[in-house]
Amino acid sequence: MPTLAALRQRIDDFGMFPFLDRIIAVNPSPTQFAKTLAVCLQEEPRNAEVR
């Protein structure tokens, strides 16, 4: 499953496993979990102005 492997690689690259492990322990619904994961994996805009 290349898609799952790519997702796992991204989780590892961001060092998010401890965070995701805690979210899973809280036992959110699949929809809540997916939304949280999507927000966490979004890349920051490269040209974002820092104030």
d(CA 34, CA 32) in angstroms, rounded, equals 6
Per-residue pLDDT, 4:
87
Cβ atoms of 33 and 7 within 8 Å: the answer is no
Sole residue written with tokens 């499953």: 1
What global pTM score does this model have?
0.43
For 18-51, what is each residue's pLDDT tens digit?
Answer: 888 887 787 778 888 888 778 877 766 665 565 5
Per-residue pLDDT, 49:
60
Q: Which two tokens stand for residue 34?
A: 């997916």
Per-residue pLDDT, 47:
59
